[in-house]
Structure 1
């Protein structure tokens, strides 16, 4: 079977039929930002319930009603599941700024999507956060250098979707090296402040790169993250 593609970003997500199922359960989902950090249209920002399966670095969603006591979604994603969402290089964390619902966590993906998920309980929310970050840490392949263009403008590194085949020890070492590299780059970036009266484009590019590096430093502590800074709403 051919690789699956995300319907909005057209990023190929390799099939992971033999991958470990890290978590399955019921979640409500709210989309805040789509690929490239673009704000999701109003019709996609509402809360929707799903049977959810985390298999390898793919989250599968099956449309469903509210969970019934004692019921569980299937361990194998059914054919009618929505297009999967890749959690490679993603970061899951408690949505501390979102207070409209309980047990909500925030997920930011490699292609800068931002989503909120509501779990049935605090315990299940914590479990989803830890399992998503575990899958991302164990299976995210090292980033590729950003493409070099004719203009010396900031570009994000390329985050491959194919799962890593490295053993956990090598993955851990790669994470540490990535965190050290990003932290050093952030230090150098903050030392070279642009002139306050500089061109608007230069000031904006400095801000974008700083936000990216700050998020990467935080994300590297839990695995490998990529960020947009989209707020919760």
Structure 2
């Protein structure tokens, strides 16, 4: 169904290395791509000639030159002149089912953003600003309308929506009246998703094949230094909402810093980078690249079933006893983030080192190095199985002793956390 026509133009564009490097590459060469074939396929996709709505997105979202050419031709069939951004999004999403991994959906929305600004020059500072705002209103739609009936979830307020988008119009603020209008439009009329009677295939964990270990930089301290992100393997990325609950060493986050904030989240090796938008790594300031970075070695991501104010939320507990909540756009993204984070943690976290020894009756937590393991995948799997069994024995013995001292409580808390990580490592790697 359209496969032969798609293949006829794919000779001119092969998959590029990194999703981030080519996400915004719009200037394809006419000599390298069969433009007439791209135009024909785009027209057929728009009119659903031989295609279903659930087929369209996969032809627009591939990371190669021909797919980008098809997407460029496809969006030309839309006229967004004088339309508000939410109205344009509604018209765009009514034609096909937007599906796939976060990176794939964002590639499609990038082309939408370019077309919207082309039809409405001067409406926003740049195409990137349109893309950021488009992703923000889709997250807003999930926040306002994704919960169960009865008002059990606390919805995002208009003020919070505006605050989350501060300085994201290419360094400027979006017009306040525009954001208010978008907020109330989404609240009054939820976005509708195109369906053709078939459920789109479930997304799989992205980027979990192959080894992710990178060699440490000579002279670096793997316990303190954040690894070179330019050489790291990228596993997943996308817009999320984040809330800080517990700071490092188990200290409760001060009330003034517990609010929800929108970030563009990128998982590279054992570090979760949080930026204001998808261009954080393009800036040259190292301090900006490391701002809000979260190490995930020996971390554990779980669905936050006990958190009822918002839905599609997962909890991330880190090796330094910090705790965060992340809200995703839907249940598939929630599962994808949890599975990807846990796979990377299980596959590449270096084995713990023995804790300090002293005469005080105080539990000393083992050291959890943030460097990559030197074990092969098979050896890492065997180490997890052995460690999980050993930790479960220690936990059972501790609870059998009925020791309620602070020493025992601290050890119990540590063992429960480590059993959760080690016990699930087997199926995460498999």
Tell me the TM-score range normalised by the shorter chain.
Answer: 0.7 to 0.9
Distance 1:3 1:47 in 2: 34
Number of equivalent positions = 205
2:241 is the alignment partner of 1:28: yes
Residue in structure 2 matching 1:140, options 335, 349, 358: 349
Distance 1:77 1:176 in 2: 40
Distance 1:78 1:107 in 2: 27
CA pair 38-75 structure 1, distance change in 2 beyond 3 A: closer
Structure 1 unaligned residues grouped into runs of 5+: 65-72, 195-201, 225-233
Residue in structure 2 matching 1:56, options 245, 269, 272: 269
Query: What residue in structure 1 maps to residue 81 of structure 2?
Result: none
TM-score (norm 1): 0.80
Higher alpha-carbon Rg: 2
2:385 is the alignment partner of 1:217: no
Q: How does 1:62-211 map to 2 (within 5 A)?
A: 62-64=275-277, 73=278, 78-79=283-284, 80-81=288-289, 82-194=291-403, 203-211=405-413
Distance 1:27 1:3 in 2: 31
Distance 1:177 1:207 in 2: 24
Residue in structure 2 matching 1:18, options 216, 224, 231: 231
Which stretch has the larger CA shift, 35-44 or 136-145? Answer: 35-44
Which structure has more helix as a fraction of its residues?
Answer: 2
TM-score (norm 2): 0.45
Distance 1:221 1:105 in 2: 19
Indicate the SS of the match to 1:222. Answer: helix
CA deviation after TM superposition for structure 1 residue 223, in Å: 3.3
Indicate the SS of the match to 1:213. Answer: helix
Indicate the SS of the match to 1:60. Answer: strand
The RMSD of aligned alpha carbons is 2.4
CA deviation after TM superposition for structure 1 residue 203, in Å: 1.8
CA pair 216-77 structure 1, distance change in 2 beyond 3 A: farther
Query: What residue in structure 1 maps to residue 91 of structure 2?
Result: none
Distance 1:101 1:83 in 2: 22
